[in-house]
């Protein structure tokens, strides 16, 4: 994205815009689309219709010109990572929220695990670059004593705290400790696979969709996450976090009880059960989660 006085360049296409009271009015098709924004130094955060926030970072050496998405599809230039920075990150970092726990573990100067999934990374000044499906993804970060704060491509700041826990990754992600009793007692086999809740909107010039995903393994373990996307003539924005929070579940009569790792438990009503006992729909606060909505 490149912005001039009254025109901007997005993915090679030029659009006119107006700046009114911290809102970019971008002319798309035959009308203007509103994008509220925040400007903090060299970081510009746009709020897309539907509420998704996308953060742009000003390119180095530019005073008012080119801006680029942190999630670049181009591979970052080569170079050696700062060894002292890398060594200070080595170890296990944990973020605990009301919904559950995220675990980030730096194994070496170029290898890490996120929630148990291995990945490559490299360091640039103030940025951790992790390998994504289409190249390196930028995560600006700050490290102050034992707090590592990452900024996601959507502009969300996540403070991780250095962990000295010796618990295994399986236990930290809600796995069954050896010799213990599962908290998912009951006919948990009746609930397995994915159930989704979908919401969205569309117009002649843009569309927005959001999917919440509940995944059950049939053995008492579940995960919860979401996917969201926005598209218009000005471009695309997408976020994907399908299994961010984990926990245990149990089935009792007409309800499923979801217990997150921090102890919070939600009661969810069974909305549809098949003749063979399989649960294919749940209802929670007027939101329908169904297997058919995941397709």
Retrieve residue 266's tokens.
């939600």
Q: d(Cα 22, Cα 191) in Å, to the nearest integer? A: 47
Domain boundaries in the chain?
A: 2-68, 83-167, 183-294
Q: Which helix (H) or strand (E) holds 85?
A: helix 83-89
Strand order through the sheet with 67-68: 2-3, 7-10, 13-19, 23-28, 31-40, 43-47, 53-58, 67-68
Query: pLDDT: is 172 or 287 the higher one?
Result: 287
- Comparing 230 with 184, the larger pLDDT belongs to 230
| Homologous superfamily assigned to 83-167 | Uncharacterised protein family Atu4866 (2.40.128.290)
Q: Residue 139 CB: number of other CB atoms within 10 A?
A: 17
Q: Given its phi and psi angles, is residue 41 left (phi above 0), alpha (psi -120 to 50 degrees) or beta?
A: left
- Residues above pLDDT 90, as percent of the chain: 17
> Residue 256: its pLDDT value, please?
94
**Residue 261's closest CA among 90, 91, 94, 105?**
94
Tokens of 153: 């491509």
Query: Quick one: 178 exposed, middle or buried, by C-beta within 10 A (0-12, 13-18, 19+)?
Result: exposed
DSSP state of 14: E
- Residues pairing with 152 in the sheet: none
Looking at residue 66, its pLDDT comes to: 30
**Average pLDDT in the chain:** 73
Give the per-residue pLDDT at 257.
93
157-203 pLDDT, tens digit per residue, is 889 999 864 333 333 333 333 333 333 334 888 899 999 998 877 76
- Report CA 34 to chain centroid distance, whole Å: 24
From residue 176, give the alpha-carbon distance in Å to each of 170, 171, 195, 211, 214.
7, 6, 23, 29, 19
In this structure, what token pair is assigned to residue 203? 């117009």
C-alpha 127 chain-centroid distance: 18
Q: What is the pLDDT of residues 269-285, one digit of tens each?
A: 999 998 888 999 999 98
pLDDT at 110 over 70: yes
């Amino acid at each position: 994205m490149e912005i001039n006085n009254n025109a901007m360049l997005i993915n090679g296409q030029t659009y006119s815009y107006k700046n009114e009271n911290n809102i970019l009015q971008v002319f798309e098709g035959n009308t203007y689309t509103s994008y509220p924004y925040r400007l903090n130094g060299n970081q510009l955060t746009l709020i897309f219709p539907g509420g998704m926030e996308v953060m742009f970072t000003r390119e180095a050496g530019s005073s008012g010109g080119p801006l680029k998405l942190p999630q670049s599809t181009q591979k970052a230039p080569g170079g050696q990572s700062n060894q002292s920075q890398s060594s200070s990150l080595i170890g296990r970092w944990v973020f605990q929220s009301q919904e559950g726990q995220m675990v980030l573990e730096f194994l070496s100067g170029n290898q890490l695990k996120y929630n148990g999934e291995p990945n490559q990374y490299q360091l640039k000044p103030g940025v951790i670059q992790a390998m994504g499906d289409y190249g390196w993804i930028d995560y600006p970060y700050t490290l102050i004593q034992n707090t590592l704060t990452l900024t996601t491509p959507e502009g969300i700041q996540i403070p991780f705290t250095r962990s000295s826990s010796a618990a295994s990754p399986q236990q930290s992600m809600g796995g069954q400790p050896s010799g213990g009793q599962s908290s998912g007692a009951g006919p948990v086999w009746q609930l397995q696979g994915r159930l989704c809740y979908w919401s969205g909107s569309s117009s002649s010039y843009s569309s927005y969709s959001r999917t919440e995903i509940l995944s059950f393994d049939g053995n008492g373990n579940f995960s919860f996450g979401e996917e969201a996307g926005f598209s218009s003539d000005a471009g695309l924005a997408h976020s994907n976090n399908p299994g961010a929070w984990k926990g245990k579940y149990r089935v009792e009569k007409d309800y499923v009880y979801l217990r997150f790792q921090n102890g919070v438990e939600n009661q969810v009503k069974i909305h549809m059960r098949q003749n063979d006992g399989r649960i294919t729909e749940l209802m929670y606060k007027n939101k329908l989660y169904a297997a058919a909505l995941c397709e």
